[in-house]
Structure 1
Amino acid sequence: MVDFRRLPSPDDLLILLTVARLGRFNAVAEALGTTHTTISRRILALDKQLGGRTLERTPQGWELTALGVDAVAAAEAIELSLGELDGRLSNSDALTGLLRISAPDGFGARFVMPALVQIQRENPRLDVELLSGTRKASQNRSGVDLEIVVGRIESVNAEPIFLTNYFLRLYASAAYADRRGLPGRLEDIRHHSFVSYVESALQVQELGHRSSQLPMPITSFQATSIFAQVDAVHAGAGIGLLPSFMVPASSGLVPVLRDDFHRQLPIWAIARPESLRSTAVQGVVAAIRQQITDRAGELSA
C-alpha cells in the first residue's frame, strides 16, 4: 500500500509548476487567487517534503533546481491527468484556467487578440488576459505565460519562437499633404512635423525616430500608444513612422517616400520551457501563426 504521508502534496506540485511558468510569486498568487505569503509557505512545505530546494532566486526570477525539474515533471503529469479527467466529466477536451499573454498594443490588437478570441471560443471555460506593452523581452520574467516582443532578441532565460517580420513605413494624411506638401527626398523630412513613439519611454529603440537615421524634424508629436500615433497622423499632426499592418489601403493615409525608406523588424513569441509545454500556450502560438498565414499580405505590404 502506498504511504500517502510520504508523498508530496499534488496541490503544492501544481503551485510549483505555476511558479516555473510565471517566475514570480506575486504573479502566481494573482493567478491562483491567493497571497505571496501562501505561495512561499507552500513551496517551503514542498521543499521540506522532498528533502531539498526546488527553486533558486536569480536575476531572471525564480528558476528550478535539478530537484525542481523532477518535481515539475511530476506536476505536469498530474496536470495532464486532471485535465483528462475534467474532460471526461464534462464530455469535453476544452482547456480551463487562466492564460496570460503580453504583446505590443498594435500587433496585440490586430493579430494576438483574434487568436485569443478563437482559443476562448473553442474553450469557453478558459480565462484570457491580454496585457499591452511595447518592450523588450523580460529579463526578470513578466508573470505571463507568453510574451510577444518586437525587435532584436538579447540573451534571455527563455525560448524565442520567430513569428514573422513586418514593415515600418512613412505615412501622412491627405490634409497634411495639401497643407504642407510631402518631402521629395529623405533629407526633406527636416522641414516637416513627425509622429512617433516617446523616445524617453521607448524600450525597443528600433521603433523610434532617433534610430531611423532620418533627419530631425521641425517638431514632433510623440505618444506611447501606436493607436494614438495613427490617430495623430490622421489628424494631420505630421508624417508618421507606422507599422504597415496598421495602415490598410482604405485608411486614407498617403504613403511617403515609399521607394526610399522602410524598416523591417521581427516579432517573436517568448516563454519558459515549462510554459511552452502547456497545451493552452501551444494552442495560442498555433492560432497566432494561423492569423499571420491567413493575413500575410498585411505584414508584407
Structure 2
Amino acid sequence: MFTADNMRFLLELSRTGRIADAAKRLDVDQTTVSRRITRLEKDMGARLFDRGSSGWQLTEAGRRLVPYAEAVESTLLAALDATSSAGSGSLHGTVRILTPDGFGAYVLVPGLGMVRDRHPDLFTELRTSTTHDLVTGRDFDLAVTLERPSPRSVSVSKLANYDLRLYASRRYLDSHSAIESLDDLEDHTLVWYVNAILDVEPLRRLERLLPEDRAQVQTNNITGHYQAVRYGVGIAPLPTYIGNADPDLVPVLPDKFVAERTYWLVVPRELARLARVQAVIEILLDIVSENPDLRAPGQGGDSR
C-alpha cells in the first residue's frame, strides 16, 4: 500500500546517495531504508534508483518523483514549523546552509552568534565547498553560490558583490623585489586554486588577469591561500573581506588589479516559507550589511 512516509526515504537517499548516510539522517537502520525504497518502487511500478559502486543514483522515474516528495516534505515541515513556533514562541529545528569556503569560514561563521542570540533553540549546519555543482544535490535549506544557478526549482537573488585583490605579507614584500606592474609578478610566487579541480567559472575567469601558468603554489581552498600569504609563501588574490581584516597583509597593485565577484542567495522554493529559513536569511542579510567589504544590492559598486 502506497504511503507518503516512504517519500522521505526517497528524498534522503537521493540527497546522500548512500544507504548508510540516509539511515543515519532518518535515524533508522539500513535495512529499513532498503525495505522502504523497495516498497516504494513496487508501489510506483518502476525502478527509482540505480545501485552502483559509487552509490545510489536516481533513475529518470525517480527524478520525476522527487518534486512530489519535496512538496510532501515541505508541507510537513511547514506544519511542524507553525505548530512548534506557536506553542513555544521560539523557532526550533535545523537550517542547513551551503556556502563557498571563503564566505562560510570568514563571513558566515563569525556572524552565527546572531542566530544563537535571536533564536537559541535553532540549530545550524554549515557545509562549505567551492565547486561547480554546489547546489545540485538539494541537500540544503539555503545556499550562497558564486555562480547563478537555474531558477527552475529554487528562488535566486543577489546577496552581495565583493572584490578580489592581490595581497602579500609585509615580510614577503620586504624580502622580495618591488612590484610596480602586473609584469613584475613574473618574478614572484603566486598562490591560487588547483587548476585540475577549479570548475567555478567566476574563479576561472580570474586566470585571464594574471600571467599564464604562474601559480606555483596551488591549494583547493581559500584558507590555504590566506595561510600561504600570511606566512610569506607568496602573493594571492583574496576577497577584501579576508585581506583587509588582517593588518599584516598589504594590497599589491591596488590600482591595477581588482576583480569584482557576486554571491547569490539560493533557496528551494518549497522551503522558502519556513519561518526558521526566513529567520536565518534575515540574519544573513544583516551579516552582509554590517561587513564593510561586502556590497549588498543597491549599494555603491553594484553594477550588475
Cα offset for 1:47? Answer: 8.1
1:100, 1:144 within 8 Å by CA — same for their partners in 2? Answer: yes
Of stretches 242-251 and 257-266 in structure 1, the one that deviates more from structure 2 is 242-251
Write the mapping of 1:25-174 to structure 2, written as runs, cut at 5 A.
26=18, 28-35=22-29, 38-39=32-33, 41-42=35-36, 63=63, 65=65, 69=68, 73=71, 76-89=74-87, 91-96=88-93, 98-138=94-134, 140-141=136-137, 143-150=139-146, 152-153=147-148, 155=150, 157-159=152-154, 160-174=156-170
Query: Structure 1 CA distance, aligned partners of 2:230 and 2:82?
Result: 51
Instruction: Name stretches of at least 5 consecutive residues in structure 2 with no aligned partner.
Output: 50-56, 296-300
Query: Structure 2 CA distance, aligned partners of 1:187 and 1:176?
Result: 18
Q: Kindly tell me: are residues 46 and 93 of structure 1, through their superposed partners in 2, closer, same or farther at Cα, counting changes over 3 Å?
A: farther
Q: Kindly tell me: are residues 246 and 185 of structure 1, through their superposed partners in 2, closer, same or farther at Cα, counting changes over 3 Å?
A: same
1:137, 1:147 within 8 Å by CA — same for their partners in 2? Answer: no
**Which of 11, 19, 34 in structure 1 is aligned with 2:11?**
19
Cα offset for 1:209? Answer: 8.4
Instruction: Name stretches of at least 5 consecutive residues in structure 1 with no aligned partner.
Output: 1-5
Query: Structure 2 CA distance, aligned partners of 1:79 and 1:229?
Result: 40
Q: Which residue of 2 aligns with 1:3?
A: none
Query: Structure 1 CA distance, aligned partners of 2:14 and 2:281?
Result: 17
Query: Structure 2 CA distance, aligned partners of 1:74 and 1:191?
Result: 59
Q: Which residue of 1 aligns with 2:281?
A: 285
Query: Structure 2 CA distance, aligned partners of 1:229 and 1:73?
Result: 41
Of stretches 233-242 and 156-165 in structure 1, the one that deviates more from structure 2 is 156-165
Give the SS at the match of 1:299.
coil
Determine if the alignment matches structure 1 residue 260 to structure 2 residue 256.
Answer: yes
1:102, 1:148 within 8 Å by CA — same for their partners in 2? Answer: yes
Query: Structure 1 CA distance, aligned partners of 2:85 and 2:2?
Result: 26
1:21, 1:275 within 8 Å by CA — same for their partners in 2? Answer: no
2:99, 2:128 within 8 Å by CA — same for their partners in 1? Answer: yes
TM-score by length of 1: 0.76
Cα offset for 1:39? Answer: 4.2
Cα offset for 1:164? Answer: 0.9
Cα offset for 1:59? Answer: 7.7
Q: CA RMSD in A?
A: 3.8
Query: Structure 1 CA distance, aligned partners of 2:113 and 2:230?
Result: 29
1:19, 1:25 within 8 Å by CA — same for their partners in 2? Answer: no
Query: Structure 2 CA distance, aligned partners of 1:231 and 1:77?
Result: 45
Determine if the alignment matches structure 1 residue 221 to structure 2 residue 217.
Answer: yes
Q: Which amino acid aligns with 1:254?
A: V
Deviation track 1:84-103 (CA, whole Å, cap 9, x = no partner) reads: 443455x333222x332221
2:134, 2:145 within 8 Å by CA — same for their partners in 1? Answer: no
2:179, 2:252 within 8 Å by CA — same for their partners in 1? Answer: yes
1:168, 1:242 within 8 Å by CA — same for their partners in 2? Answer: yes
1:171, 1:255 within 8 Å by CA — same for their partners in 2? Answer: yes
1:182, 1:256 within 8 Å by CA — same for their partners in 2? Answer: no
1:111, 1:291 within 8 Å by CA — same for their partners in 2? Answer: yes
Q: Which residue of 1 aligns with 2:234?
A: 238
Deviation track 1:61-119 (CA, whole Å, cap 9, x = no partner) reads: 954549x63x7556544433333443455x333222x3322212221022222454433
Q: Which residue of 2 aligns with 1:190?
A: 186
1:197, 1:224 within 8 Å by CA — same for their partners in 2? Answer: yes
Query: Structure 1 CA distance, aligned partners of 2:14 and 2:162?
Result: 28
Q: Kindly tell me: are residues 59 and 164 of structure 1, through their superposed partners in 2, closer, same or farther at Cα, counting changes over 3 Å?
A: farther
1:192, 1:219 within 8 Å by CA — same for their partners in 2? Answer: no
1:193, 1:217 within 8 Å by CA — same for their partners in 2? Answer: no
Of stretches 75-84 and 220-229 in structure 1, the one that deviates more from structure 2 is 75-84
Of stretches 26-35 and 175-184 in structure 1, the one that deviates more from structure 2 is 26-35
Percent of pairs identical after alignment? Answer: 28
